[in-house]
């Protein structure tokens, strides 16, 4: 049966040491963690040669676009009381923009042909394919470090991986809402030009169970 590995990066200031990652390899059933992204890239590339990857960043990756300007910064439906535009969400959105481009640029140097997908329906679990998702680890879900937050999200996703299914997104349908996808923009800036057509795509948002 086809399956996928899981990677989550908890985003914060690299200068302050507020960045951590966790990677689960489906083939050897091993989990790896760290704070240095250069240690993560070889794990991703080795995995993609054999399997697909569920890849989450703990930061808002797409924002809603509404006709009513008064509602421009309103939470995406399903987010609850911690919207993308307020407090920690807004801060980490800004922090993640250059970090995300850095991540995708380094992946592009190593593998220019990665197939990034933005919806569960497009995720076929084939090798060299990455399903991008937004990780939401907040409130009572949070751990004691950025690495621990990434571990918590990975462990939650593993429950579904063992069943060969995907977690359920918390994003709910909202009539008349379009999206601006920051991840697609970062991919384009990093060299992955063919994903520019995903600029208005939404993405899954997963929270730990």
pLDDT band with cut points at 50, 70 and 90 for residue 1: low
Q: What is the pTM of this model?
A: 0.96
pLDDT digits (tens, 9 = 90+) for 115-151: 999 999 999 999 999 999 999 998 889 999 999 999 9
CA dist., res. 114 & res. 118, Å (int)? 13
Query: Is residue 29 pLDDT above 70, yes or no?
Result: yes
CA dist., res. 113 & res. 161, Å (int)? 24
For the chain, what are the domain ranges? 4-206
Helix, strand, coil shares, percent, the chain, to 5: 35, 20, 45
Assign 172 to helix, strand or coil.
coil
């Amino acid at each position: 049966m086809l399956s996928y590995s899981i990677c989550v990066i908890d985003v914060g200031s690299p200068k302050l040491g507020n960045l951590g990652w966790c990677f689960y390899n489906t083939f050897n059933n091993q989990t790896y963690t760290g704070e240095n992204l250069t240690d993560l890239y070889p794990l991703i590339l080795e995995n993609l040669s054999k399997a697909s990857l569920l890849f989450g960043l703990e930061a808002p990756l797409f924002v809603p676009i509404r006709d009513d300007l008064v509602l421009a910064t309103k939470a995406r439906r399903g987010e609850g009381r911690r919207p993308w535009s307020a407090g920690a969400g807004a801060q980490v959105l800004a922090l993640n923009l250059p970090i995300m481009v850095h991540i995708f640029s380094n992946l592009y140097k190593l593998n220019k042909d990665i197939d990034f997908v933005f919806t569960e329906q497009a995720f076929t679990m084939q090798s060299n394919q990455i399903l991008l998702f937004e990780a939401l680890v907040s409130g009572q879900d949070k751990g004691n470090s950025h690495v621990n937050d990434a571990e918590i999200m990975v462990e939650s996703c593993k429950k579904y991986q063992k069943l060969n299914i995907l977690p359920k997104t918390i994003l709910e349908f909202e009539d008349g809402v379009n999206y601006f996808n920051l991840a697609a923009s970062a991919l384009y800036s990093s060299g992955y030009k063919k994903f520019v057509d995903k600029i208005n795509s939404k993405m899954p948002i997963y929270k730990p169970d």
